[in-house]
Amino acid sequence: MKLLGFLLLALAVPATAQSYPTRPIRLVVPFAPGGGNDILARLLGQHMGRALGQQFVIENRPGAAGSIGARAVAKASPDGYTLLVSPPGPLTINHLLYRDIGYSPQKFAPVSLLAKIPNALVVRKELPAKTMSELVAYGKANPGKLTYGTQGAGSTAHLTSALLEMRAGIKMVHVPYRGAVPALNDIIAGHIDMFFIGTQIALPLVQEGKLRALAVTGKERWKGMPDVPTMQEQGFKDFNVVNWFGAWLPAGAPPEIVARLQAEIARTLQEPDIQKEFDTLGLRSVGSSPEEFASFVAKDAETAREIARRIEGRKK
């Protein structure tokens, strides 16, 4: 009887994965609609929904640099019907900058790395700086006057701006927002000076003359902005800060469900249609195993931790 029980259990595991999903799946985006994170999640949900025959519902939960959305996923049932689609902050650095984020980053089940994208440093069009050297000179001549927007403390934009402060030897003022769109609205209106934002979001605003791009943060120039030099070209050696996005389930999610979602994500990211859409947006699809993703996150978290220490050190 025991042997029969074990056999039935073994057969039930793959059956669970094969029948999944039987109802709509929530994709929680921990930032406001309209930003790169939101666009990526909607594309992923559309393609995976068609393949799996279930609707993927986007739920925007902005606030606290992504911690509010991540907390909602951490507390959700680990049944495979709630995923977090997010950039690194909520899982790599928020716990270092906030006193209590309400969850442990180690308690999530990694599913897959999704995509990477360089950032562009954009400034308000009236700012009297058209190159990085001019921006640094302006910052040194006006200490504490330059303002930079971010999606919140711990976001990639925050870390990148803090790194620029340290590398350039200037002091700027951090203005956190609840997402990319509110920050972009304010920089266009001239209320803040600069913002490190995904190239795909910056491009139309630069083309329309609403903002000016001074640099991109990747190793090479981005083909969407071929005339905009990299940070490294402008004297910032090894300034290669690339934003990335990943997918997580709540801790305790069944391994067979994790494997099913990872396999479906990998297949989706290889679809010609989504690769074309990603290319238009400046996103480079990646994909990974859960183990590879966990290792990648651990390494990125160590880098973020070092920058966070320097941020805290500058406050004292």
Helix locations, the chain, DSSP H: 2-19, 36-52, 67-74, 89-92, 94-97, 132-141, 156-168, 180-188, 199-207, 255-269, 272-281, 290-315
Give the C-alpha separation, 314 to 236, whole Å. 20
**DSSP secondary structure code for residue 143 in this structure:** T
Largest CA distance in the chain: 81
Per-residue pLDDT of the chain in tens (316 residues, 90 and over written 9):
433 433 343 444 454 566 899 999 999 999 989 888 999 999 999 999 999 999 999 999 998 889 999 999 999 999 999 999 999 989 988 888 788 899 999 889 999 999 988 899 999 999 999 999 999 999 999 999 999 999 887 788 888 999 899 899 999 999 999 888 899 999 999 999 999 998 888 999 999 999 999 999 988 898 889 999 999 999 999 888 888 999 999 999 999 999 999 999 999 999 999 998 888 777 888 889 999 999 999 988 887 777 777 666 655 5
Which tokens hold the place of 287? 């994909």
- Check: CB of residue 113 under 8 Å from CB of residue 287: yes
**Dist CA 156 CA 170 (whole Å):** 19
Q: What is the pLDDT of residue 7?
A: 37
pLDDT of residue 219: 86
Whole-model pTM: value is 0.76
Distances (CA, A) of 50 to 2, 45, 53, 119, 174: 41, 8, 5, 31, 41
Q: Residue 316's pLDDT is what?
A: 52
* pLDDT for 1: 44
CA atoms lying within 13 Å on the CB side of residue 201: 26
18 Cβ contact partners less than 8 Å away, ≥ 6 residues apart: none
pLDDT score for 314: 56
∠97-311-149 over CA atoms, to 5°?
Answer: 80
Q: Does domain 23-117+243-313 have CATH number 3.40.190.150?
A: yes
Where do the structural domains in the chain lie, given as residue ranges?
23-117+243-313, 118-241
CA separation (Å) from 179 to 14, 50, 66, 182? Answer: 40, 28, 9, 6
pLDDT value, residue 4: 40
Smallest CA-to-CA distance from 288 within 251, 241, 252, 244 is with 244
Fold classification of 118-241 (topology level): D-Maltodextrin-Binding Protein; domain 2 (3.40.190)
Same topology between domain 23-117+243-313 and domain 118-241 = yes
pLDDT at residue 11, rounded to an integer: 47
Please tell me the predicted confidence (pLDDT) of residue 61.
Answer: 95
